[in-house]
């Protein structure tokens, strides 16, 4: 049986958004993995970068132990701010999954040619993978902050989801859009 885990609270400032978004997801077959002791999501000053990286590595090692062997798909939910409108970025290291997501989301949002401007797909690449072969015209690339063995692991499919809210707390319509997107990622994982 296919199982999806939704991580909320990896950054403690994002836990309230994650809880509000996940509050009506539980009946969908998605397990909510609540990280009560997430790390701060602050920009690291030069002297703090190595400690923030260590904190991230430790956090994701704990998360990996929680989800490994239990889930086929892990969605890592994060939030940020956009004063203009709700939007979302979806991150995966797997081109096949991104292609499938691209086609699936076009169907869900009823446009067979374009994803809505508010949803973007990114290919995660390794820090040492910056040569021309890493780039693809279909999806912009980004470097991962999540440890390599999780992003490219064989244990489960990792998908990062960054949702941009119009205020720090968000609003009901943004929670609904975020749930809809989480369910779409879950559905794509089921079908792939």
Looking at the structure of the chain, the number of domains it has is 1
What confidence score (pLDDT) does residue 41 get?
80
Q: Which residue has the higher pLDDT, 151 or 4?
A: 4
Q: Which residue has the higher pLDDT, 31 or 153?
A: 31
33: Cβ–Cβ under 8 A, 6 or more apart, which residues? 5, 6, 7, 8, 63, 66, 67, 74
What confidence score (pLDDT) does residue 40 get?
87
Is pLDDT above 90 for 179?
Answer: yes
The CATH code of the domain that includes 105 is 3.40.50
Q: Which domain holds residue 186?
A: 4-191
What confidence score (pLDDT) does residue 44 get?
56
**SS3 string of 119-145?**
EEEEEEECCCCCCHHHCCCCCCEEECC
What confidence score (pLDDT) does residue 92 get?
94
- Which residue do the tokens 């244990």 mark? 155
What pLDDT, in 10s, does the model give residues 76-115?
A: 999 999 888 899 999 999 989 999 988 888 777 766 555 6
- Which residue do the tokens 């390794």 mark? 126
How far apart are the C-alpha atoms of 61 and 86, rounded to whole Å? 31
Nearest to 108 by CA among 163, 175, 182: 182
151 and 137 Cβ atoms separated by less than 8 Å: no
DSSP 27: G
What confidence score (pLDDT) does residue 87 get?
92
What pLDDT, in 10s, does the model give residues 119-173?
A: 999 998 876 655 555 556 788 888 878 888 888 878 899 999 999 999 988 899 9
What confidence score (pLDDT) does residue 175 get?
93
Mean pLDDT of 12-18: 93
* pTM assigned to the model: 0.90
What pLDDT, in 10s, does the model give residues 53-73?
A: 788 889 999 999 999 999 999
Mean pLDDT of 7-29: 90
């Amino acid at each position: 049986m296919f199982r999806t885990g939704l991580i909320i609270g990896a950054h403690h400032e994002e836990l309230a958004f994650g809880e509000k978004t996940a509050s009506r997801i539980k009946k969908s077959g998605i397990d909510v993995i609540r990280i009560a002791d997430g790390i701060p999501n602050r920009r690291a000053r030069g002297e703090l970068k190595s400690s923030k990286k260590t904190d991230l590595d430790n956090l994701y090692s704990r998360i990996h132990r929680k989800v490994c062997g239990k889930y086929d798909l892990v969605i890592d939910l994060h939030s940020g701010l956009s004063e203009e409108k709700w939007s979302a970025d979806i991150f995966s290291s797997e081109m096949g999954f991104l292609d499938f997501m691209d086609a699936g989301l076009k169907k869900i949002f009823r446009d067979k040619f374009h994803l809505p401007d508010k949803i973007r797909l990114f290919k995660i690449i390794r820090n040492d993978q910056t040569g021309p072969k890493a780039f693809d015209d279909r999806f912009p690339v980004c470097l991962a902050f999540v440890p390599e063995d999780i992003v490219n692991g064989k244990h489960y499919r990792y998908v990062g989801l960054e949702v941009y809210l119009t205020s720090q707390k968000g609003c009901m319509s943004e929670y609904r859009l975020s749930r809809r997107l989480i369910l779409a990622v879950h559905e794509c994982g089921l079908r792939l």
